[in-house]
Structure 1
Amino acid sequence: MTIKYKAVKMNSPLKKEGKKEQYYPRVAGRQKKGLKDIAKSISQASSFSTIDVIGVLEAFTTEIPYFLKDNCSVELGDLGTFSLHVSGEGSDEIEEVNASKIKSVKMAFRPSVRVKKDLKKVDFKKVKK
């Protein structure tokens, strides 16, 4: 499998050293695969029907947020772990920290060691704009 990329002009983090803009590689031509695409692929590689797989994946998408909101991380074997992270407003005193200081909640995904290793084995191809 090959990941396509393109060069994109962006502001440089080295502005202080006189560089204003530089070109950086960015993934290009990315396609979306949806639940049905994944279900069809799993179905072709197993004895489960596409409908059965869709049912399991739909339930999965309901259960993940449920467990995250129950203050759990969700570990998915060799895939990785989902967890919630909060960010908020700082306080000078520990007693001032409360729920009203929380400004955003984000779901994070940490890939497993196996997935990280697998993603290192990728080829790249530069595409023109």
Structure 2
Amino acid sequence: MSVEYKVVKIVPPSKKEEDCKPYYPRITKRAKKDLRDLAEDISQMSTFSTIDVIGVLEAFTSLIPHYLKDNCSVELGDLGTFSLHINAEGSESPEKVSRHNVKGVKMAFRPSTRVKKDLQNTSFKKLPTKK
């Protein structure tokens, strides 16, 4: 199993093509796996039915945002940790900082050391360039 990539040309607007190295690898041809795919694979690896696994995954999907909004990080063992982060504007003084400074919220994921180590063993396959 290899991650496929293609070569793309990217020249930043602030630079001239001759002043940079404009060719980069970019992952391509990603297949999408959905909740049902995950549930079916887990079912094959365990004694749980696909429907049982779907129920657990649906509950899991509902609980993550709930815990994050309750000001918790969610640690998933050897998988990693979900946490909430905000985008905000600054103020001139601490007294002027309020909830109105918050302009957006996003969920972040930090993979565990085990997952990071496992991903270091990823192999790559260059796809032929189209002419």
Q: Name the counterpart of 1:95.
A: 95
Aligned residues: 129
Paired with 2:90 and 2:11, the residues of 1 have a C-alpha distance of 29
User: Partner letter of residue 127 of structure 2?
Assistant: V
- The answer to whether the 8 Å contact 2:11/2:17 transfers is no
RMSD between superposed Cα atoms in Å: 1.9
Following TM superposition, by how much is the alpha carbon of 1:16 offset from its aligned partner in structure 2, in angstroms? 8.1
Cα distance in 2, alignment partners of residues 42 and 28 from structure 1: 26
Aligned to 1:115: 115
More strand by share: 1
Q: CA deviation at 1:24?
A: 1.1
Q: Deviations over 1:46-100 (max 9, x none)?
A: 0000000000000000000000000000000000000000011111111111100
Contact 1:12 1:21 in 2 (8 A): no
* C-alpha distance in structure 2 between counterparts of 1:15 and 1:71, whole Å: 43
Q: Percent identity?
A: 63
> After the TM superposition, which parts of structure 1 deviate over 6 Å for at least 4 consecutive aligned residues?
none
Equivalents in 1 of 2:69, 2:61: separation in Å? 13
Q: What runs of 5+ residues in structure 1 fail to find an aligned partner?
A: none
In 2: Cα distance, 1:19 partner to 1:87 partner: 34
1:12 to 1:84, Cα distance in 2 relative to 1, 3 A: same
CA-to-partner distance for each residue in 1:2-40, whole Å, 9 max, x for gaps?
000111111249838962671111110001000000000
Partner of 1:65: 65
What's 2:55 paired with? 55
Give the gaps of 5 or more residues in structure 2.
none
Q: Quote the residue 1:44 is aligned against.
A: 44
Q: Structure 1 residues 105 and 31 mapped into 2: Cα distance closer, same or farther (>3 Å)?
A: same
Partner of 1:81: 81
TM-score, normalised to structure 1, is 0.93
- Structure 2 length normalisation: TM-score? 0.91
Secondary structure (helix, strand or coil) at the match of 1:15 reads coil
